């Protein structure tokens, strides 16, 4: 099943579970984000990806340009394990990890502002082997032009739903990355960019897997 179908089904399930007032807050917040064109400052195809080093859940330092010395790199920026759409997307990449790494000869890394311990717990619960890096305070996401501040009314709603960002991210900035997927070539140039302020929509692996072929 394609990722878009999984995400559509997830959205339908959430609609049946969430009270109408909660749905209204989420819908209004999303409408505001889309109208503000939060993704207008993000890096796009043709741009040079900035170098960075981040720590993985295995306490390993991962450097982008070092990875690019051997293979192109797919990067997925996600909000956190509290976001069901993010988890569904990561499961999609996990299910296609052999295709990405062995067939297409690409590295894959996922980046989130949440603490490494939280990401490690997610990997264990979902039996994931993907590499997840911890971007505390969204320093790297900011270099890619992806960072926005969560409105206060949405912070309160997320807290009530069990997504206390202070606990997940370990800082009080209430900043998050716009979900984004990039494919970066060995020349450090971006060859595929999917950036969408609508967190319920993500790029399917089929959209990027043959870009460099």
CA gap 98, 187 in Å, rounded: 23
- In tens, the pLDDT along 87-132 reads 999 999 999 999 999 889 999 999 999 999 999 999 999 999 999 9
CA 86-88-93 angle, 5° bins:
95
In this prediction the pTM is 0.94
Name the one residue in this structure whose structure tokens are 């009530």. 160
Residue 150 scores a pLDDT above 80: yes
What domains can be seen in the chain, in order of their start residue?
3-206 (3.40.30.10)
Q: Is 149 helix (H, G, I), strand (E, B) or coil?
A: strand
For 141-153, what is the mean pLDDT? 94
Would you call 193 helix, strand, or coil by DSSP? Answer: strand
Query: Once rounded to an integer, what is the mean pLDDT over residues 43-55?
Result: 98
């Amino acid at each position: 099943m394609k990722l878009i179908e999984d995400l559509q089904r997830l959205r339908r399930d959430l609609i049946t579970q969430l009270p109408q007032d909660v749905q209204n807050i989420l819908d209004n917040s999303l409408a505001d984000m889309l109208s503000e064109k939060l993704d207008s400052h993000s890096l796009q195809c043709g741009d040079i990806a900035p170098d960075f080093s981040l720590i993985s859940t295995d306490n390993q330092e991962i450097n982008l340009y070092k990875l690019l010395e051997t293979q192109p790199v797919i990067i997925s920026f996600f909000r956190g394990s509290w976001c069901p759409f993010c988890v569904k997307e990561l499961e999609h990449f996990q299910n296609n990890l052999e295709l990405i790494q062995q067939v297409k000869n690409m590295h894959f890394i996922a980046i989130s502002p949440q603490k490494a311990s939280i990401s490690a717990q997610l990997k264990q619960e979902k039996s994931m082997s993907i590499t997840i890096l911890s971007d505390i305070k969204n320093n790297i996401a900011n270099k890619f032009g992806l960072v926005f501040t969560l409105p206060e009314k949405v912070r309160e709603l997320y807290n009530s739903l069990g997504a206390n960002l202070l606990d997940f991210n370990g800082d009080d900035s209430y900043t998050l990355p716009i979900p984004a997927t990039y494919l970066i070539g060995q020349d450090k140039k971006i060859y595929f960019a999917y950036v969408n302020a609508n967190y319920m929509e993500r790029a399917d692996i089929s959209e990027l897997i043959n870009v460099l072929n």
